Amino acid sequence: MEAESSHLFADAYLRMRQELTAPESAVGEQGHGKPTPQRIREHLVRCIWYEQHINAESLTLDDGRSVRVQSQGWWNIGAGPDFTRAEVAIGDAVHRGDIEVHTYSSDWYKHNHNQDPSYNDTILHVVMWNDRDAKSVKRYDNSDLPQLTLSRHLTEPLARIEEMIDLAEYPFESRASAGACRRKLGDARKGEDWVGTFLDLAGDWRMLAKAQRFGVLLKMEEPEQALYCGLMEAMGYPANKAAFRRLAELAPHGDLRACRAAGDASRSFLNAQALLFTRGGLAPAAGELRDEETREYASALAANASAPKEPLAREEWQFRGMRPQNYPFRRAAAIALLYAATAPRNLFEEILKAISHPASDETAVKGLEEIFLRANETKIKSPADYWLCRNAYAGARSKAPRRLISEDLARNVIVNIIIPVYLSFARKTNDRALESNIHRLYEAVPKLPPTSVTRFMRCRIFGGEGRAKLIGNARRQQALYQIFRDYCDNDNAGCANCIFLKSIEANNTPA
């Protein structure tokens, strides 16, 4: 049982998926608001609602009334409605409460929410398609619940939005029941080599799929701008990914590199912050100037800011349900510090060199981490150091400075941005030697901190078995995300088409 090549990215997982899985119905609609049968998970609809991939300025309910989303709510991972503490304006009236999301309107009744009093505080029923003639649904108390059909208001085709959203980055109910694959693995007595090879192929395909998206970007942008867009997206995962991507367009990497003040790291860092914060709508508002340090910082930003290019509005950034250290303020400051610390060097070329000429695969990982972590060592003076001790303008100031770029963040960037960006670059330039180096790097990256998805999948596939130790690096963790997205996603029905299960049953050899 062997992969196609030990040091190139194989697409065998995709081919197995195509050969062993029946074709799915195309995504589309027939008639006005009538969906064709298709496989789209409710989890995706929740993500679309959370990221607000909808035309906010022209939203109308199914009954024709205008609606404005002032807050999409807090993601609920417990029992009850999908989102809590939401706020929507219907006409002139503002409603605060819960939001329930479904793929189809009829799911409200299939899930018996009309018989559950805990859904009486629901203010909006959000669906992808309305497969009923009615324009609302009934609560337990028999009152009408307004309904919003997303398919009529999407900003882009659904297939494109699905490509942009990584479902595994979002919370889901993480209680894992044993998958059919766990029992079949035991029955078939598959060895660790077989399981490991399958996971390696699934991990390769996930990275190839990520690289395809960046390959599209490389056709439109210079390599360093493509890298910069990826880094900005990484700063925003998951809730602010779209806002950071927009900021990357408003403040391109060339403008950021031009912020450098020769020989003055503090000035370079402050200039970079001024660029990102003013164009990103993240500069302090009048009501946030509550202490002398913040007033001094705001004045410094204003003095160094360039003219905004239609800046983002603060409302475009998400803060609710987020750890304060992950607020967009500190994440934007992290990018500003990285580019201030590396300018005038070309960051794309510096990373390319580290990948192309490593002393060993392990030192390649360390070398890449060092590029990011070294930025933390930059000597910064006030007022440029504001975000080293803050999470928000109104928050308390920490006693000691904290790193803006952590080891976990650096390693996540390597796996989710560096490897797919440079893989797409290697494919574009037909550089097989570079692809081989990237593949060895991928194999060498240690596993990242566990997430609800990796915990779920380890339990679902392996249970308490010793085979769980097979998930020993980032490549095989990515395999868990791929299988989760394709088949599990907390949906037992996915077992019917799962190629992992089918390969076990058919005694197939991954190749």
Phi-psi region of 369 (alpha: psi -120 to 50; beta: other; left: phi over 0): alpha
Please compute the mean of the pLDDT values over residues 48-72 and round it to a whole number: 92
Domain that holds residue 161: 40-169
Mean pLDDT computed over 26-54: 66
pLDDT tens digits along 380-412: 999 999 999 999 998 889 989 999 999 999 999
Displacement of CA 505 from its chain's centroid (Å): 33
**Interval 429-443 mean pLDDT:** 95
- Residue 236 DSSP one-character state: H
pLDDT in tens, 272-308: 999 999 999 999 999 999 999 999 999 999 998 776 6
Q: What is the pLDDT at residue 347?
A: 94
Reported as a single tens digit per residue, the pLDDT across 312-321 is: 989 889 887 6
The pair of three-digit structure tokens given for residue 351, joined into one six-digit string: 């990373």
Predicted local distance difference test score (pLDDT) of residue 417: 96
CB atoms within 10 A of CB 242: 19
Please give the Cα distance from 235 to 229 (Å, whole number).
Answer: 10
Total domain count, the chain: 1
Residue 21 confidence class, pLDDT cut points 50, 70, 90: low
pLDDT value at position 493?
57
Question: Residue 241 falls within a domain, yes or no?
Answer: no
Structural domain includes residue 54: yes
Closest CA to 107 of 56, 163, 35: 35
In this predicted model, what pLDDT tens digit does every residue of 75-131 receive, in sequence order? 887 788 999 989 999 998 999 999 999 999 999 999 999 999 999 999 999 999 999
> Bigger pLDDT: 507 or 121?
121
pLDDT of residue 490: 53
Instruction: Give residues with Cβ within 8 angstroms of 289, minimum separation 6.
Output: 295, 298, 393
Residue 37: helix, strand or coil by DSSP? coil
Report pLDDT digits (tens) over 323-344.
Answer: 888 899 999 999 999 999 988 8
The pLDDT of residue 1 is above 60? no
Separation CA 250–CA 304 (nearest Å):
17
Q: What integer pLDDT is reported at residue 66 of this predicted model?
A: 95
pLDDT of 67? 95
Q: Quick one: three-class SS letters along 128-192?
A: EECCCCCCEEECCCCCEEEEEEHHHCECCCHHHHHHHCCHHHCCCCCCCCCCHHHHHHHHHCCCH
Question: Which residues, 6 or more positions from 375, have their beta carbon under 8 angstroms from its beta carbon?
Answer: 337, 338, 340, 341, 342, 404, 405
Farthest CA pair distance, the chain: 70
In a domain, 503, yes or no: no
DSSP state of 316: G
Lookup: tokens for 226:
């493509």
State how far the Cα of 150 lies from the Cα of 35, in Å rounded to an integer.
12
Residue 95 maps to a domain: yes
Within 8 A by CB and 6+ apart from 497, the residues are: 21, 22, 487
Any residues with CB less than 8 A from the CB of 260 and at least 6 apart, and which?
268, 271, 340, 343, 344
Taking the C-alpha atoms of residue 446 and residue 505, their distance in angstroms, rounded to an integer, is 31
Q: How far apart are alpha carbons 481 and 202 in whole angstroms? A: 9
pLDDT of residue 40: 76
3-state helix, strand, coil in the chain (%, to 5): 55, 10, 35
As a whole number of angstroms, the distance between CA 143 and CA 224 comes to: 55
Residue 89's nearest CA partner among 63, 58, 66, 57 is: 66
CA 450 to chain centre: 16
Taking the C-alpha atoms of residue 20 and residue 101, their distance in angstroms, rounded to an integer, is 32
What pLDDT score was predicted for residue 25?
39
**Tokens representing residue 254 in the block:** 């060339």
Q: What percent of the chain has pLDDT over 90?
A: 58
pLDDT of 468 strictly over 50: yes
Task: Give every CB contact of residue 299 below 8 A, 6+ residues apart in sequence.
Answer: none
Residue 187 lies in a domain: no
DSSP state of 341: H
pLDDT at site 96: 95
Q: Residue 35's closest CA among 173, 131, 148, 177?
A: 131
Q: What angle do the packed helices 432-444 and 192-220 form, to 10 degrees?
A: 130
Query: Nearest CA to 312 among 345, 287, 277?
Result: 277
Q: Please, which pLDDT band fits residue 143 given cuts at 50, 70 and 90?
A: very high
| pLDDT for the residue 336 | 96
User: Is 499 a domain residue?
Assistant: no
Could you tell me if residue 76 is inside a domain?
A: yes
- The pLDDT mean for the chain works out to 87
pLDDT at 135: 95
Measure the CA–CA gap between 310 and 315, rounded to whole angstroms: 14
* Average pLDDT estimate for 21-34: 43
Q: Is residue 407 part of a domain?
A: no
pLDDT of residue 35: 44
pLDDT reported for residue 128: 95
Q: In one letter, which amino acid is 285?
A: A
Q: Which residue has the higher pLDDT, 168 or 274?
A: 274
- Tally Cβ neighbours within 10 Å of residue 209: 16
